[in-house]
Amino acid sequence: MVKRSKKAKTMRKLIKAIWIFNWFNSCGFAELVPLVGSRWDMERFGMIIVGTPRHADVLFIAGYQTHKSLERAKRVYEQMAEPKVVIALGSCTMTGGMYWDSYNTIKRLDDYLPVTMYIPGCPPRPEAVFEACEKIFEHVKELE
C-alpha cells in the first residue's frame, strides 16, 4: 500500500468543503445573509453556496413552508446526490413559528423531509449555523 505523503494529506484537508444549496422562504432568507457578508464570511470555513442541488451535500431550509412550496423543496431534495444532509433553520421549520395556525403552512418539516439537524432561533444566530456546520464536518470525518 502506498503511504500518503504529508503534502497529499495537507492538500486533502484544503479541498475539504461542504457545498450548500439554499431553500429559503419569506424572512428565512435573512437568516443566511449575515453569513455570506464580510463580518462572518462562511467561505473561509469551507462552507460554499452552490447554484444547483445536484452539486450540493447539504440542503439549508429556512422560513415557513407552505404546502405549495414544500412540493418544490421535495423536488430539490430528490435532485441531490447521496450522501446528503438537511439542516433546517429557524422556528418556522420546527413548529410553523408565528404561522403555526395558518391553514396553508406545515408545522414540522421532518414530517415531510428527513431533517438531520434543526437550528433554533428567529432567526438563528450565525454562531449557531457555524456550530451546526462544524458538526457536519465531524460527521463527514466519521464517514471516511
Query: Binders of ligand SF4: how many residues, by CB under 6 A?
Result: 14
E runs forming strands in 14-139: 18-24, 47-49, 58-62, 85-89, 117-119
* 97 in contact with ligand SF4 (CB under 6 A): yes
Q: How far is the CB of 133 from ligand SF4 (least distance, A)?
A: 18
The DSSP symbol for 5 reads P
CA separation for the pair 2, 41 (Å, rounded): 38
CA separation for the pair 81, 95 (Å, rounded): 28
Region of 92 (left: φ > 0; alpha: ψ -120 to 50; beta: rest) is alpha
CB closer to ligand SF4 out of 53 and 97 = 97
* 96 in contact with ligand SF4 (CB under 6 A): no
Q: Which stretch binds ligand SF4 (CB under 6 A): 72-80, 89-97, 111-119, 135-143?
A: 89-97
CB closer to ligand SF4 out of 27 and 48 = 27
Q: Which of residues 19-78 bind ligand SF4 (CB under 6 A)?
A: 26-28, 31, 62-64
